[in-house]
Amino acid sequence: MKRFAGYIFDLDGTVYLGEEPLPGAPETICQLMAQDSRCVFLSNKPIEPVSRYREKLRAMGIPVNDGDVINSSIVMARYLNHRKPGAKVYLVGEKPLEDELTRAGAIITSNPYEAEYVVISWDRDFNYRKLHDAMQAILNGAHMVATHPDRACPVPGGLVPDAAGMIAAIEAVTGKKCEEIVGKPSRWTVDAALERLGLPREEVLMVGDRLETDITMGKSAGIKTALVLTGITRREDLVNSTVQPDYILEGLPDLLKGD
C-alpha cells in the first residue's frame, strides 16, 4: 500500500493488547521509522502517565522520543490552558490525570461549589459521592468537559467499561450535555498529533481499531485512515457503518504490503 511520511497510531488494540504487542506491530513500526516515516502514538486512556506508555513501547523495541506519545490527559491539560489557565477543577478521574492537570497549572478542588470545570474521565473508583459532587458543581455553573468518549476498553479476554459510563451518569443527573470531549475523535487531539509530526495532512495516515474515534477523527481532519482489525472493530461492523476507512488491515504488518 502507499507509504506515508507520517503515521498516527492508536495504541490499545492497534499496537498492543494489554501488556503484549500485537503480532508484527513493533517490527512494522520500526521498519517505517527506519525508512524515515515519522510516527506519533495516541491513546484516549488516561489511567496511566504518558511516561508509562513510552516505557511500554520502548520495552517492545519501538524507539519513541519524549513527545511522541500523546494521551487524553495531555490534551485535556492543553485544552484547559487554552480556555482558562489555572482553572479550579473538580475531577472525576484517577491520579495520573490529576498529576497531568496539576503540572499544567490547574487547581484540583474537592469543593464542588468552587469548581469552574468538572473534568470527567475513566474512573475505576467512581461512586455516589463523586456523582453527587459533580452534579452540584455543574448545577452551580461549572463547565462539564471530558477526556474521551470511549464506551469500553479492550483488554485480554474482552472489554471493560470506560469513560462513557461516567459521562452518561453525570449527564443523566444534571440534565446537561458534556460541553467538550477533547480526546479522539476531537480536533484537540488530532491537532496535537499533527503539530508533533510537522507534516501536511495529505502526507499522514491515521491507524486505529475504532470507527467511532480513530477513523472518525482522521476523516474529520482530512487525513487518510486505516482500520486495523485487531481491537474493537470487526469486519462485519463495517457493513452498516456510515464511517468507512480508506484502508482495512488485518494487522499492522499489512502497512508494508507491496514493499
Instruction: State which of 123, 158, 181 marks the end of a domain.
Output: 181
Which pTM was predicted? 0.89
Alpha-carbon span 33 to 152, nearest angstrom? 31
Q: Which domain holds residue 39?
A: 6-44+184-256
Report residue 109 as a C-alpha cell: 478542588
Could you give the CA distance from residue 25 to residue 33 in angstroms, rounded to a whole number? Answer: 12
Return the pLDDT at 121.
98
Q: How confident is the model at residue 139, as a pLDDT? A: 98
Q: What is the pLDDT of residue 144?
A: 98
Q: What pLDDT does 252 receive? A: 97
Give the burial class of 51: count Cβ atoms within 10 A of its Cβ; 0-12 exposed, 13-18 middle, 19 or more buried.
exposed
Q: How far apart are CA 101 and CA 87, in angstroms?
A: 10
Residue 88 and residue 12 in one domain? no
Counting as low any pLDDT under 70, the low residues of the chain are 259
Residue whose cell numbers read 469552574: 116
Do 196 and 243 lie in one domain? The reply is yes
Q: Which pLDDT score is estimated for 259? A: 52
Which of 181, 204, 235 is a domain's end point? 181
Q: Is residue 204 part of a domain?
A: yes
In a domain, 152, yes or no: yes
The continuous run of DSSP H or E covering 17 comes out as strand 16-17
Number of independent structural domains in the chain = 2
Do both 169 and 244 map to the same domain?
A: no
H helices then E strands: how many in the chain?
8, 15
In percent, the amount of the chain with pLDDT more than 70 equals 99
Question: Does 92 lie in the same domain as 174?
Answer: yes
Residues 169 and 189 in one domain: no
First to last CA, the chain: 8
CATH code (residue 107)? 3.40.50.1000
Sequence-ordered list of residues with C-beta below 8 angstroms from that of 28, at least 6 positions apart, any chain: 252, 253, 255, 256
Q: What's the rounded Cα separation, in Å, for the pair 236 and 167?
A: 28
Q: Give a yes or no: residue 31 inside a domain.
A: yes
CB 38 within 8 A of CB 64: no
Question: Which pLDDT does position 4 carry in this prediction?
Answer: 97
Instruction: Quote the cell numbers at residue 119.
Output: 473534568
C-alpha cell at 112: 464542588
What is the per-residue pLDDT for 100? 96
pLDDT of residue 158: 83
Residue ending a domain, among 146, 165, 181, is 181
Cα dihedral sign, 82-163-56-29: negative
pLDDT tens digits, one per residue of 219-253: 999 999 999 999 889 999 999 999 999 999 999 99
CB 149 within 8 A of CB 75: no
Q: Which residues contact 132 (CB under 8 A, 6 or more apart)?
A: none
* Model pLDDT for residues 31-54, shown as the tens digit of each residue: 999 999 999 999 999 999 999 999
